[in-house]
Structure 1
Amino acid sequence: MVRRNNATAEFILSGITDIWELQVILFVLFLLICVTSLVGNLSMIALIRLDSRLRTPMYFFLCHLSLVDLGNSSAVAPKMLVSFFEERKAISVSGCAAQMYFCGFCIIAECYLLAAMAYDRYMAICNPLLYMATMSQKVCVQLAVGFYLIASVSQTVLVSSVFSARFCGPNVINHFFCDIPPLLKLSCSSTTVSEHVLFTIAALVALSTLAFIAVSYGYSLTTVLRMRSSKGRHKAFSTCASQLTSVSVFCGTMIFMYLRPSSAYSLNQDKAVSVVYTMVIPMLNPLIYSLRNMEVRGALKRLLKKVLISFRDQTGKEVSQTK
């Protein structure tokens, strides 16, 4: 994947800021974001696995979405947090390629998972009689495996294209992780092919999934508005609203980052946007789906009730034994 004839043996990450006081504040802030993201996504996965009422196609994809969010933040956050205390923020060429690969892999997989969740809502709302037959467990597994394969192949092609360029001059990446645009600016050879590959893959993934999501939710919302039951409308709107919120935030940042001409890139501005999709969105997704989704809130209440009852029974037994 990585060419060994590059003169550069390692890269130096500039980080977010050089101001020490600000670094301390950002470290505490990002550490809180990482912990919240870790707890939130692991809790969502555990909740879906433990509650039998959430073993449906929608929550199958939501579970994978939490896994991908964990992978996305884990690819960037640990190195970034450690770098706040490093005077020389070095990363090897292989480490840079690995970070770029896993971050991009998770982004592409998340796009397709969001599209699958939109299609799931379309089938559940517009074709309820065919829902379980169309969205069977076998189909869901095949879709998830297909998404991961597409993400893997796409990112392998992209990372190989980026590291086929030569890096023999300055090695300071003006970013807090190995993202493609700032890395290509360091190349001492032509990056036209890599830029075209990046734009093509980003356009195919983003535009195809966005079009699919828009059509799916368009039909779903039209059907919801025709429902006579206010309770049914509220439940459907609650689920669709949480997914649309997640889609809007994620896809908006992706389009801003990667579907622009190279002349429009502002690396300092893009650092802030990168924080959104590598750290903030993985933290927000569990909150969005838990706070706006009645089924998730109900499952959480049932789980907490079981834990409290189990704790009370255990405490009661210990008290009776001491007597």
Structure 2
Amino acid sequence: MSLSKGIQSAAAAALSAAMLIALAACGTTDSTDTAAKSGDSSKDSSSTSIQGFDTSSIQKDDEIAALLPDSVTSDGTLTVGADTSYAPAEFLAEDGKTPVGFDVDLSKAIAAVFGLKEETISSTFDSIIPSVGSKYDLGISSFTVTKERMQAVDFVTYFKAGSTYVVQKGNPNKVDSSNLCGVKVAVQTGTTQEEEVNKANEQCKADGKDAIDIQSSKLQTDVTTAVASGKASIFYADSTVSAYAIKQTGDTLETLGEDAGGVPEAVAIKKGDTKTAEAVQKAIQKLMDDGTYKKILDTWGVGSGAIDKAEINPADAA
């Protein structure tokens, strides 16, 4: 059975109000409150009421900054490509234009170590990696490290996240995540979750079962809306994103089953740019060692995804 039209409309409206306007937009969140805590909030809330970690006190590290090539430092700005539909990692604040989230705060912290200004540029997820090294200095957008992606870019790890299935509250369509054949499944384009669902679909067809109705969207907010409104029965996304979406839709949604995996996420860097990769690795490790990194994650309620070592092109790629 499915939700009535009235309930579907209410769910969609709740999502629009909570995510597409207020939040417009891959470890489970430790807290559902992602607004800033105590003295770690940003000083200026005029553009947004969503406040992250205040990076203004982070000092430049001359030794680390000296590692960067002129191609990164010449304009005085660290440009970062991000898909700003992926709360709480990277999304847009209430003004509809200011990037916020724990990835954005980490980007600002890295830039501060380099002594550079930071600019997060909104883009669709699948277009970021091809643009790293040309349009963007870095890509920081919840990228799961995979062998395929490492053929295109180099990576520096900074987080660990699992994947979670999400359905409407009460699972009205009685979806079984272990058997998605014939089910309408929403995923974000270019994600590892989309790859997994595509593989499951091939198995369905090989077994002579109904194909999965895969609804791939450029924006995670559209993925979430599809399930909240009943256009899809289930979505699959990073655990942090899933938990945050449930909170922001007023408990219209719920997780289905246990989190899967727990794989590294990383900063994407132009392939072969060893100087930038080393600088980013050392900057993140410095932030880890001095406690700033953990404070950023805790500000957004995602401290359970913390790691203690930043690695270049880790061996445990998916």
Measured against the shorter chain, the TM-score band is: under 0.3
Greater share of strand residues, 1 or 2? 2
Q: Which has the larger radius of gyration?
A: 1
TM-score (norm 2): 0.28
TM-score (norm 1): 0.28
